[in-house]
Amino acid sequence: MSRHPVRHRPTVVEVDLEAIRHNVRRLKPAGAELMAVVKADAYGHGDVPVARAALEAGASWLGVALVEEGLALREAGISARILVLSELPRGAEAEAVRAGLTPTVYTEEGVEALAREARAAGRALPVHVKLDTGMHRVGLWPPERAVELCRLVVERGLELEGLWTHFASAESDEPTTLAQLERFLRAAWAVREAGLRPRLLHAANSAATIRFPKAHLDLVRPGAAVYGLAAGPGLAEGLRPAMTLRSRVSFVKRLEAGERLSYGHRYRLGRDAWVATVPVGYADGYPRALSNRAEVLIRGRRHRVAGIVTMDQLLVDCGDDPVVPGDEVVLLGAQGSERITAEELAEPPTEETRLQAKAMSLLLSAGALASDAQLIGDDPGGWRAVGDPTEGALVLAAAQFGLRKDELERRLPRVLELPFDSERKRMTTVHELNVENDASAVNDVLAQLPIAQSRFVAFTKGSVDGLLDIAAQVWVNGGAQPITPEWRQRIEASNARLAAEGMRVLAVAFKLLDERPAKADEALERNLTLVGLFGMIDPPRPEVKEAVAKCKMAGIRPIMITGDHPLTALAIAKELGIAAAEDRVITGLQLSQMSDEQLSAALTDVSVFARVSPEHKLRIVTALQRQGHVVAMTGDG
């Protein structure tokens, strides 16, 4: 290795620590702690600076895979709690205990080894017991043995601080994830019923932190999402990628059609083209497997990596774009309105995924333009929407995709509108098409529409059923297709699935117009092309906690009655101030087995009822009224 630091090579990796802070703040739920997983050198981003940034942004724990990773953080002066995510190798216990690392255990041998070391050190040692609920990598199996192992932890003088599990497919498989969560909560409930009280229950990885609020429990453990990486399809919205790999063009030549490039001559130019050399190769960690597949950004445009990636250089087919030596090349990250993502490099986009991304940009643009809400703020971290909350969500979603409402309206100014009314359950806006020859995200939206002689476009948003009744076509793979019975069934099924998840669902459609309509009437809303659906969920508002506190001050006692799991219900009740961590929860099954006298007695100190039916709710209200209370019910049921 050279003894001289590299000063003249333009290839650099940049890690945006403010993006790390932004992502941690965005991912951290109200009422739950956050553990930033910084294993594998913080996913290659640098464990010490990333750990410090995450802690500054509100993380209270760090997660590592190896004892050595935890020791390195301690040597850097980081004193935060650190969980080792697998059981310690035999012989590592003493060093881990001295460094104040928190071990994971899932075998009797692991418990015994830690107990011996804790006794020898004369100190209390908190541990977290990991349950295998279906990932089948490491953890106690079956999880129904949790009481047995947790009891051993306590009997051996260790502190049972945490109980946790890991999801196998939270990014895509909802039934499996919910089944894993249910199995974990049953095991955790059994541990509590046995008189054992772990302070922290945790299960949510990056995908579950984003997709499953019920899995937040006491602590979430995002890994990839901390770095702005998508934990699954559509799971990076609102996150900021932290890493950029950039270089500069070192050499350019003009080659004729038919010339072959790089080792093995595996790339042939199909036309005369400018070919750029970039000083990046597989020695820098840029995979050779990306040869002839990946794209890079030069002057805000995508260009294909041409030929085999060599050890320290690669070639780029720039077509007719007049690139010059010194032009910046982005291999990972953003330039202009374009971005090369880590997900793309891991799996270069197919034509299908390109079309899906374009359809997403059309959907988001249409949703934002057919809304009256406006985006305020220049910094993504400080964006907020002004106006109707539902429309605000559409405007924010578009902005997070690089489609700001003000830029959309500059290029597609609104000239007419048919306002929303409760009978039609939809709203339509008409926009003038202003096509400019640039590389903006708005132009990418317009380029996919069959504009031809059209000078205006109408965007309609509204209820799914309502739009299905007036739409004639659906936008598929970059073109319009008739809405057949099969397509209608698929759309209705998607609507039902999103609605079943507690989401508000809106559909968006468009219609190209050759002339500006003389007036805004329902003729605008005929023969539409349906683009897609939005699903939105409205989390508990911040003022709910304040309302609960005011009720208590006024002598009104809030009681939570829910169909959720008892541990989930208790966590929410604790967050809102309805219950304390040590409070008892009565389930619907337990309530069914109670006499009226027993229920009346329980109501003196129990404020959380879980897994209940409407009949149970009526029985609880009746029991309170018999005690002389005036009872008011509120909620969505």
Side chain identity, residue 479: G
CA distance 199 to 510: 52
**Pairing verdict, β 471-476 and 200-204:** unpaired
Q: How far is CA 21 from CA 33, 36, 207, 238, 492, in A?
A: 15, 11, 18, 13, 40
CA distance 560 to 569: 8
Cα angle 464, 465, 471; round to 5: 80
Q: Is 63 exposed, middle or buried (0-12, 13-18, 19+ CB in 10 A)?
A: buried
Residues 6+ apart with CB under 8 A from 2: none
For 397, the token pair is: 């979603």
CA distance 209 to 205: 6
Return the CA Rg of the chain.
Answer: 29
| Cβ–Cβ under 8 Å, residues 164 and 120 | no
| Cβ–Cβ under 8 Å, residues 320 and 273 | yes
Provide the β-strand partners of residue 204. Answer: 220
CA distance 33 to 405: 34
**Maximum Cα–Cα distance for the chain, whole Å?**
92
Side chain identity, residue 547: A
For 66, the token pair is: 């190896």
Selection from 602, 575, 597 nearest residue 586 by Cα: 602
The sign of the torsion formed by the CA atoms of 46, 52, 56, 61 equals positive
| Cα first-last separation, the chain | 68
Written as one string, the DSSP assignment of 495-529 is HHHHHHTT-EEEEEEEEEESS--SS-SGGGGSSEE
Among all residues, which ones are annotated catalytic? Answer: 39, 263
Cα angle 412, 466, 410; round to 5: 10
Backbone angles phi, psi at 394, to 5 degrees: -65, -40
CA distance 559 to 572: 12
Asked if the bond preceding 142 is cis, omega within 30° of 0, the reply is yes
CA distance 628 to 25: 46
| Cβ–Cβ under 8 Å, residues 425 and 462 | yes
| Cβ–Cβ under 8 Å, residues 483 and 529 | no
Q: Which H/E stretch holds residue 193?
A: helix 174-193
CA distance 530 to 528: 6
CA distance 468 to 483: 9
CA distance 260 to 272: 12
Residue with token string 């310690």: 88
